[in-house]
Chains A and B, each alone.
Chain A
Amino acid sequence: MREPGLPEHVRHIYEGEPDEDLIEALEPDQLVDAMESKLPCRLLGRWTRTGLWALRVFVLTMTGLVVYTFVASLGARG
């Protein structure tokens, strides 16, 4: 049943009109099919690549320190 008081652009919300109307509320690149497509790998400059290597070293060193501290604290408990 159609309610005459409702503006056209919102009828589907209240009257359960077909999915075609509802789906217009989504952007095309928001559909699951589009979101599942892969983006290409980013091309990185030399400085960025160097920075990411430095970051890799930082992260692995810090992780090593924390893991050692944790294991040592467990050993101290035992």
Chain B
Amino acid sequence: MRVRGEVLTGEDLQRSHDRARVVDARHRRRRLALWWLLIGPGVLAMLGENDGPSMLSYAATGATYGIGFFLPFIVLTFLAAYVVQEMAMRVGAVTHRGYGELVFQRFGRFWGWLSAGDLVVTNFVTLITELIAVRVGAAYFGVPPLVAVGAGVALVVFSVAGGRYWRWERVALSLAGLNLVFLVAGVMTHPDPAALAGAFATWKPLPGGSLQTFLLLLASDIGATVTPWMIFFQQSAVVDKGMTPRDIPEGRLDTLAGALLAALAGCGALLAAAVLFEHHVDPAQLQAGTGFAQALQRWAGAPVAALFSIGLIEAGALALLTISASTAYAVGEAVSGAHSFNRRIGEAPLFYALNVGTAALAAAIVLIPGAPLLSIALNANLLAIVLMPAALVFLILLASDREIMGTQANRSSTNLWAAGVTGLVAFAGSAYAVVAFLATVGGTR
């Protein structure tokens, strides 16, 4: 179809409907309406990363160390995530291209395929862990694994039906709010206000015990907030939503709101599980996730255990949507195929097949009896963390590139913050990878 000399697709028309509302809200100076229309990619990236493994990681931290160093550390990691995701949002709004697309076009095929390949593998394994979270959470309420996992896949199918980005985003957002049940669970354990204030003021007590456990939890908590899929997802979602440089202030607010909500929920999970630390419950017995609800039921009461289980279901379900979407966006960008929720299924078959297919395949694996799920999950997270510095370096290069970003390119201060985040992630990831490798070599000799 041609309008005023431009070739228009159905995707353009769908997106223009959403943009017309944004233009109208801005014209009428309706700030709340404008924010409501533009909220989405930032909140979904941040709360999507508060997924099953992340919440279990925060809970494991609380059960291992109680209230102390890691509480303000979680808030710090989300501030780091804000620095990263703000860049992804800005690059998407200015260039109207996804992260994977830009890495291919600006830095060549090696980095393009490495980024996309790494993402597809780690996302797929992460999807397995999301379905484990859904299964574990549902098991607390007596739901059989087949029903729980099947419902997770059905949710993905429901969310993508409709051929509209706006619809997909609102389905995902309606789930995202439930992440705050972790905060409610944390508050219901009645944490000591003096201990909370002391932790935020002094970052104490410092973690003791084994270095490997400390590095594992440090790397896991960083990996629970700053990951490659978030960059791919938010940048592609910003493009699919149709955001422009004029929307950057609202995009920042969206990202900041997501970071704050996710930090609150993460701290809530830590606080809820800190009860187990106070009762000297052995965290090693809780690592697989199945033990948290039972332990919380005993030491914090059934309502806290039920909220924790609901939170796990939500965390897994939301991440199923966002992580499958990020895989579909990344592959679509890598092969230059159609990659938008604003396309009909027939117009973007690969995009929709990847969205649903990866979730369905992960579900099939979760249901295989005796599969080494925990080992797969831990190593997938580790791989995502050690590959994150590369993703960050390219994001910084893209966001600083005046040829494509113009006046929206990174300032020196932003680059300084981003370099600090990259250094922190590189240190934590590689330190744990080396320590785990040495322990494995020592153990297998």
A residues in contact (CB < 8 Å) with B: 9-10, 12-13, 19-20, 22-36, 38-42, 48, 51-52, 55-56, 58-59, 62-63, 65-70, 72-77
Total number of A-B contacts with CB less than 8 angstroms?
147
Residues on the B chain within 8 Å of A76, using CB: 443-444
User: Beyond A23-B3, A42-B107, is A9–B23 a contact (Cβ under 8 Å)?
Assistant: yes
B residues in contact (CB < 8 Å) with A: 1, 3-4, 6-9, 11-13, 15-17, 19-24, 27, 95-97, 102, 105-108, 110-111, 114, 239, 242, 244, 336, 372, 375-376, 379, 382-383, 386-387, 389-390, 393, 397, 401, 403-404, 426, 429-430, 433-434, 436-437, 440-441, 443-444
A62 touches B433 (CB 8 A): yes
A63 touches B404 (CB 8 A): no
Residues on the B chain within 8 Å of A36, using CB: 336
B13 touches A65 (CB 8 A): no
A23 touches B8 (CB 8 A): yes
B437: contacting residue among A29, A38, A65, A75, CB under 8 A: A65
B440 touches A72 (CB 8 A): yes
Residues on the A chain within 8 Å of B336, using CB: 36
Residues on the B chain within 8 Å of A20, using CB: 3-4
A26: contacting residue among B15, B27, B95, CB under 8 A: B15
CB closest residue in chain A, given B444 = A72
CB closest residue in chain A, given B439 = A69
Distance between A30 CB and nearest chain B CB, rounded to angstroms = 5
A39 touches B8 (CB 8 A): no
Residues on the B chain within 8 Å of A25, using CB: 16, 19-20, 22-23
CB closest residue in chain A, given B374 = A73
Residues on the A chain within 8 Å of B19, using CB: 25-26
CA distance in complex: A19, B379 (Å)? 50
A69 touches B107 (CB 8 A): no
CA distance in complex: A20, B387 (Å)? 45
Residues on the B chain within 8 Å of A39, using CB: 95, 97, 102, 105-106, 404
22 contacts between A and B (CB under 8 A): A9-B27, A23-B4, A23-B12, A25-B20, A26-B16, A27-B96, A28-B6, A30-B15, A31-B12, A32-B12, A33-B6, A35-B97, A39-B95, A39-B97, A41-B107, A42-B401, A42-B403, A51-B393, A55-B389, A58-B390, A69-B379, A72-B440
Contacts A23-B4, A31-B12, A66-B379 known; list 4 others, CB within 8 Å: A23-B16, A30-B15, A40-B105, A66-B382
CA distance in complex: A13, B13 (Å)? 12
Residues on the B chain within 8 Å of A24, using CB: 16
Residues on the B chain within 8 Å of A72, using CB: 440-441, 443-444
Distance between A45 CB and nearest chain B CB, rounded to angstroms = 11
CA distance in complex: A63, B114 (Å)? 11
A73 touches B379 (CB 8 A): yes
A69: contacting residue among B105, B376, B437, CB under 8 A: B437
Residues on the A chain within 8 Å of B27, using CB: 9-10
B242 touches A63 (CB 8 A): no
Distance between B97 CB and nearest chain A CB, rounded to angstroms = 6
A59 touches B106 (CB 8 A): no
Distance between A27 CB and nearest chain B CB, rounded to angstroms = 6
A30 touches B244 (CB 8 A): yes
A75 touches B444 (CB 8 A): yes
CB closest residue in chain B, given A28 = B6
A66 touches B23 (CB 8 A): no
